[in-house]
């Protein structure tokens, strides 16, 4: 239908926003259903898994698999069935009328009859020296994913909220010691999580302290960290203001950031797609109360971490990616009959 048309005239059956595991899995399913999906790779082609070396918990790889390799294989698999890939980051979405329009950061407009949003949730980084080089090499944002690599290590967890407490408690199963580094002298975590962490014999706290630098190499992993402290907290701000701070370099075998994630959903602001207070997308249950990937706007589906503040795993992202493609396929079939109706935004 679109063959030979300029991009400005094309109407894609499905555009998939994001090329992480969720987007790729949706692309395999949508392409095999002859929907010729267009996948927008966004600012981080391949998504978060490209930040890690070994993935040991993805089904089907008894010896583990490299994050890059898993993504590259997924991309080839989707392309084999006809998925198209393009570098593009969505800035704005216009969902009031069909076909939907996506405005890219280049100003280009894409049009689609259905959208699968698989734009992920980016872990927040601290900004410490060395983190770009060592992310995935002893520095991680996911204890569930990488904790098992740190059996017998001394590790640091940065943060003071529930995410950090969860990471610390999980890591305490493997690590020799876990030290939570927090920039204030009290936790933001819920009382129950804070109490569990405080009472755990292998979890210690470094109050009024921040991570300034990571040491190590990609060959050796993280070997140490420089911590900066001030008795009144927020030591980096104090140092920037010229106040005296204490610096200490400690030997550690791993560092985990637990300062939360930011779902990449700004482009859906004011579109009718519901988000929670942190920006994660809401998906709906069907009439029989079963889980779906349907959002509040007909024809817009959500997959992967962008709608999942809880599990945030590659395998769950792949699972919901396939669900979104199946939901989109079913929706497009019904659309044949309602193409001229106004768009429904269910509240």
Ligand X SMILES: Cc1cc2nc3c(=O)[nH]c(=O)nc-3n(C[C@H](O)[C@H](O)[C@H](O)COP(=O)(O)OP(=O)(O)OC[C@H]3O[C@@H](n4cnc5c(N)ncnc54)[C@H](O)[C@@H]3O)c2cc1C
- Please identify every residue annotated as catalytic: 142, 145-146
The answer to whether 320 and 275 have CB atoms below 8 angstroms apart is no
Q: Which stretch binds ligand X (CB under 6 A): 114-122, 199-207, 271-279, 289-297?
A: 114-122
User: Interface with ligand X includes 17 (CB under 6 A)?
Assistant: yes
Shortest Å distance, C-beta 200 to ligand X:
24
Closest CA to 11 of 47, 35, 28: 35
Shortest Å distance, C-beta 229 to ligand X:
27
CB atoms within 10 A of CB 45: 16
DSSP 1: -
User: Interface with ligand X includes 212 (CB under 6 A)?
Assistant: no
Q: Which stretch binds ligand X (CB under 6 A): 112-120, 185-193, 216-224, 268-276?
A: 112-120
Report the chain's terminal Cα–Cα distance, integer Å.
34
Long-range contacts, stretch 313-317, CB < 8 angstroms, 24+ apart: 313/57, 313/144, 313/145, 314/21, 314/49, 314/55, 314/57, 314/58, 314/70, 315/57, 315/58, 315/59, 317/20, 317/21, 317/22, 317/25, 317/118
Q: Which stretch binds ligand X (CB under 6 A): 78-86, 138-146, 154-162, 163-171?
A: 138-146
Block residue for tokens 């926003």: 17
Shortest Å distance, C-beta 316 to ligand X:
7
Q: Which of residues 225-254 bind ligand X (CB under 6 A)?
A: none
SS3 at position 338: coil
Q: Which of residues 19-58 bind ligand X (CB under 6 A)?
A: 19-23, 40-45, 47-49, 51-52, 55, 57-58
Q: Which of residues 74-93 bind ligand X (CB under 6 A)?
A: 89-90
Q: Which is nearer to ligand X, 81 or 125 (CB)?
A: 125
Closest CA to 186 of 173, 197, 178, 176: 197
Q: Which of residues 266-295 bind ligand X (CB under 6 A)?
A: 267
- Out of 170, 304, 323, 328, which residue is the one contacting ligand X (CB under 6 A)? 304
- Out of 174, 221, 313, 325, which residue is the one contacting ligand X (CB under 6 A)? 313
Range list of H helices, the chain: 21-32, 67-80, 131-134, 143-146, 162-171, 191-199, 235-240, 314-335
User: Interface with ligand X includes 177 (CB under 6 A)?
Assistant: no
Residues at the contact surface with ligand X, assessed by CB under 6 A: 17-23, 40-45, 47-49, 51-52, 55, 57-58, 89-90, 118-120, 123, 136, 140-142, 145-146, 264, 267, 304-306, 312-315, 317
């Amino acid at each position: 239908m679109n063959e030979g048309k300029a991009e400005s005239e094309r109407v894609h059956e499905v555009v998939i926003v994001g090329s992480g595991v969720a987007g790729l899995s949706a692309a395999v399913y949508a392409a095999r259903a002859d929907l010729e999906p267009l996948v927008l790779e966004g600012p981080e082609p391949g998504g978060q898994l490209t930040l890690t070396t070994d993935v040991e918990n993805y089904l089907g790889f008894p010896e583990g698999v490299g994050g890059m390799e898993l993504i590259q294989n997924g991309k080839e698999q989707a392309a084999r069935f006809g998925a198209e890939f393009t570098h593009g980051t969505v800035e704005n979405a216009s969902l009031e009328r069909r076909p939907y329009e996506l405005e890219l950061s280049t100003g280009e407009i894409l049009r689609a009859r259905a959208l699968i949003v698989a734009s992920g949730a980016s872990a927040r980084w601290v900004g410490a020296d060395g983190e770009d080089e060592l992310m995935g090499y002893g520095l991680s944002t996911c204890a569930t994913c990488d904790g098992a690599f740190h059996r017998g290590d001394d590790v640091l967890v940065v943060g003071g909220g529930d995410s950090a407490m969860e990471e610390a408690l999980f890591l305490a199963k493997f690590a020799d010691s876990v030290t939570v580094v927090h920039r204030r002298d009290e936790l933001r975590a819920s009382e129950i999580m804070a109490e569990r962490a405080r009472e755990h014999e292998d979890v210690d706290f470094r109050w009024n302290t921040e991570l300034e630098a990571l040491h190590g190499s990609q060959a050796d992993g993280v070997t140490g960290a420089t911590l900066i402290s001030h008795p009144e907290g927020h030591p980096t701000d104090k140092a920037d203001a010229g106040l005296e701070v204490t610096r200490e370099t400690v030997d550690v075998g791993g560092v985990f950031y637990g300062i939360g994630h930011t779902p990449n959903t700004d482009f859906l602001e004011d579109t009718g797609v519901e988000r929670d207070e942190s920006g994660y997308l809401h998906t709906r249950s069907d009439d029989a109360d079963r889980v779906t990937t349907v959002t509040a706007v007909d024809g817009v589906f959500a997959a992967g971490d962008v709608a999942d503040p809880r599990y945030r795993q590659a395998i769950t992202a792949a699972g919901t990616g396939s669900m979104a493609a199946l939901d989109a396929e079913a929706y497009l079939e019904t659309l044949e009959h309602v193409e001229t109706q106004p768009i429904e935004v269910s509240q």
